[in-house]
Amino acid sequence: QSVLTQPPSASGTPGQRVTISCSGSSSNIGSNTVNWYQQLPGTAPKLLIYSNNQRPSGVPDRFSGSKSGTSASLAISGLQSEDEADYYCAAWDNSLNVYVVFGGGTKLTVL
């Protein structure tokens, strides 16, 4: 049982816009920024979005993030086949100092 709640799956066709939600509580998303990771099969997670809506260098602007209250969302526009991957949200949790919590992950399928 993950601390942050994500839908287990999402799908879309090439060119579409899809969103993935992430729900938490006041001790994590409600009081800290949200980060998003993309994980391709057999590889380490790659940082996609940090501080709710910031993209690291090299991440296409098709990826965007937002946060409101105790929930956050990742949006992917202009969906491409290479976007098929697992996506995880994460946030620090104030219940015990430096303590990171993750969502259970969302498997994105490009139809």
Partner 1 sequence: QLQLQESGPGLVKPSETLSLTCTVSGGSISSSGYNWGWIRQPPGKGLEWIGSVYYTGSTNYNPSLKSRVTISVDTSKNQLSLKLSSVTAADTAVYFCARLSEILRVTDYWGQGTLVTVSA
Structure tokens at 87: 């996506």
Judged by DSSP in three states, 95 sits in: helix
**Interacting span for partner 1 (CB under 8 A) from 11-19, 63-71, 76-84, 101-109:** 101-109
Stretch that binds partner 1, among 10-18, 66-74, 76-84, 94-102 (CB under 8 A): 94-102
Alpha carbon of residue 78 to chain centroid: 17
Q: Choose between 76 and 91: whose C-beta lies nearer to partner 1.
A: 91
Instruction: Give the residues across from 5 on adjacent strands.
Output: 23
Cross-strand pairs, 49: 36
User: Residues 75, 59: contact at Cβ < 8 Å?
Assistant: no
Give the nearer residue to partner 1 in terms of CB position, either 11 or 54.
54
Q: Which residues bind partner 1 (CB under 8 A)?
A: 2, 32-33, 35, 43-47, 50-51, 56, 88, 90-92, 96-105
